[in-house]
Each structure stands twice: as C-alpha cells, then as structure tokens.
Amino acid sequence: MNSHEQTVQQRDPIAALIARSASFLAAIAVPLFAAGTTWFGRDSIESPALALLALFFVVLASVDLVVQSSPLRAPLTSHTHAIVVGSALVALLLSALSMGESDAYLRDDWGGPVVGLFIVALAPYRPARELLVSGVLSAIFAGFIAVVQSDSFVTVAPVGGFVIVAVTPIIAMSLAAAAFVTVLVRSLDRWRVRADRAFTAMTGERGESIARSVQQDSVTVLNQEVVPLFTALLDGALVDDSTRERARQISAEVRALMIADVDRTWLESVVDQVGNGVPGAASTVVRDEHRLAEHMSTDERTAVRAFVVALHDAPSFDDETVEISIVRDGSRCEVVLRATVDSELNVLKGPLAPFLAVIRVMFSDLQVDHEQPALTLRFSYEQR
C-alpha cells in the first residue's frame, strides 16, 4: 500500500500478525456470549426465527473478521470494517425485534456489547478515527433502538436513562480501541523517528565501509595484476605492444571495479551479503539498470531485505535460480522476484508466510505464484 494509514497493522505488521490470535478469540467468544445470553433470556423471545437470524449475523461478522485479518489478505480494509460492524448492528436490530414487547430489561440485551467487542477486535487493523466514528454511529443506532423499545421495559426511568445504558458499552469500547491505536501508533512513529536518525548517522559509516570495500578490492586487483607487471618491468622486461595492451586491460578492470562498487544499490549489497560469499553474485541476480531500488521507502526496503534473507535461509531454496528485476512503469516501479523453492510446504503457510505478510502490507498489489518448485512474486511501488 503506497499511502499508509495510521494503523497498527501498517506501522508494525508483525505485531498485527501476533494480534490475530485475539481475532480468533473474539470470533469464538462473541458468538458464544450472544448465544448464551439468548439462551438464558429465552423466556423474553417472541420470535425464535429472528433470534436465530440475529445469531447468524454475529457468526457472519466473526467469520469475516477471521478471514479478512489473515496475513494473506492484508491489509484489512475499511470495507471489511464496515461489513463486520454492519453485521453486528443488524444482529442488534434482529435481537431487539425477536423480543418485541417482551424485552423487560435493557441491561440483559447483548446487542450493544457485541458491537463494542467487534470494534475492539478491529483495533489492530484500522485507524483510531475510523474506530471512533464507527463507535459513535453505532451508539446512535443503539440509542434509537432503545428509545423505540422503552415502552416495554419494566424499569421506571426517563428515556434518556435507557439511551445511556444502551450506548455506554459501545462508546466505552470504541474509545478504548481508539486510545489503544493512538498510543501505539504514536509510539511506533517516535521509534521510527529515532531509527531514521540513527540510520542518517550511520550513513557516513556506510560510506566509509564502501570506500574500504573499494580499496580492498582494488588492492586485490593490484596485487594480482599490477604488481606482477611492475615486477616484470623492473626485472628488465621489454615494453612492447603486448605489455601496453596488458596495462590498458588492468586499468580498465580497476576502473570498472570501482564504478561497480559506487553504483551498487542497497539491494545488490543485500544479495552479495547472503550470496554465500560468491563474488559478484548481485550482478547476476539483480536486474536494475536505472537503480530503481533506491526509490523504495525505508519500510519497503526493510520488508524486501527481510524476505530476501529469509528466502536464502530456507533449506529448500536454490540460490542459483533467484532473479530480481526492477523496471519503470510510468510513475511506478515494478518488481518481479523469481526463485526455486523445492518444498512440499506451501510458501503461503510455511516459514516464509510471516515475511510475505509484511510485504503484502507494504505492497498492497503483491501477487504470489508458487507452482512447485517455482516461486514468483510481483509487486510495485511509487518512485520517491
């Protein structure tokens, strides 16, 4: 995704992946809570069909939450948020209709708490403002239902009291969810600022490291080629056309080596580091003529770097087959990564799954094709 939202999932995809266990828990606990409350309040139900239909919509919201929070479908969108909360509100309405004029105690109704619990379950995936707006609109709807039902309640109280009882669970849980997201996102943003400062401070060290690498490679070439040539000349070798041609070749080799090191992108450096020490591994793996890898954001680089390292660490990975190409397509850069992963495990569910989940959050158009043993990833990003 190119314009990142203020969500925990897009600020810290791994944290959202870990939080998915809470989504499973909510998907199980909320329907059980609604079903249990319906059973214990069955004497107030006038229409069992509507009560069962209400529970069906609770289950529907739970299933949608579990399916859409999967790392294979990340990031969870506002459309899913609307479906989950909308299904819960339909369940609230159907539950109220199922009791008709027999709903004696509003405090025993499960509709409001269920809506609030679903909003809390959505907290790791959606922005704080969206959660708050969802909570306010849901509370207005729940308050309206309470006003319509107020004549059936046995408790003698102003209508405003019933509205407060109806909206409190929703408002309280949505405020808690919004506060949680706000605090966590701000904390992650502060950490990001400190990390960027540290990265900037390390830029000079990285330049020195590159310079040392160039120097070492140059010294190696000098020791292997130049020193023997000079030694032969000092020993009285004849300077002829072949000697001059050899000197030109050595000069061109040193120049090409220095230019290649200066032009090396961060992606080529990563490939060289994980390429089992094979000299020039990046030159055969990375196809990036226009240095488009440099246009990735810090988050996008981190996601791609982590996946490349994890891919090379996979026991079934064949490092001689990997190929990464980056080409320009209008204002965007398209990446195609091909590799051979000869494993019986589906990469979408195996050890590489968490890394693919992070890439899917960073690049919303990610396409993964794994036909044994060929693995192909396609995604794009904006030039920056």
pLDDT, tens digit, 9 for 90 and up, residues 51-70 = 999 999 999 999 999 988 88
pTM above 0.75, yes or no: no
Residues 153 and 188 in one domain: yes
Residues 362 and 337 in one domain: yes
Q: Is residue 51 part of a domain?
A: yes
Q: Is residue 2 part of a domain?
A: no
In the chain, the amino acid numbered 168 is T
Question: What digits encode the pLDDT tens for the residues 6-38?
Answer: 888 877 777 777 777 888 898 999 999 999 988
**44 with 102: CB under 8 angstroms?**
yes
Structure tokens given for 286: 């990375």
Q: In this predicted structure, what is the pLDDT of residue 56?
A: 96
Lowest-confidence segment of 189-193, 309-313, 350-354 by average pLDDT:
189-193
Question: What digits encode the pLDDT tens for the residues 212-265?
Answer: 555 565 566 566 666 676 676 666 666 667 766 777 776 666 665 555 555 567
**Edge-to-edge order in the sheet of strand 317-329:** 286-287, 317-329, 332-341, 374-382, 367-371
Structure tokens given for 39: 């059973």
Q: In this predicted structure, what is the pLDDT of residue 36?
A: 92
Residues 238 and 369 in one domain: no
Q: In this predicted structure, what is the pLDDT of residue 146?
A: 84
pLDDT grade for 2, boundaries at 50, 70 and 90: very low
- Number of domain units in the chain: 3
Q: Between the CA atoms of 107, 108, 109 and 110, what dihedral angle is there, to the nearest 10 degrees?
A: 110
Q: Is residue 1 part of a domain?
A: no
Per-residue CA distances from 154 to 40, 46, 132, 271 (Å): 18, 17, 32, 72
Whole-number average pLDDT of the chain: 78
Residues 186 and 229 in one domain: no
- DSSP 8-state code for residue 311: H
Q: Between the CA atoms of 74, 79, 84 and 86, what dihedral angle is there, to the nearest 10 degrees?
A: 180
Q: In this predicted structure, what is the pLDDT of residue 238?
A: 64
For the segment 316-336, the average pLDDT, to the nearest whole number, is 84
Residue 50 has pLDDT above 80, yes or no: yes
Q: In this predicted structure, what is the pLDDT of residue 63?
A: 94
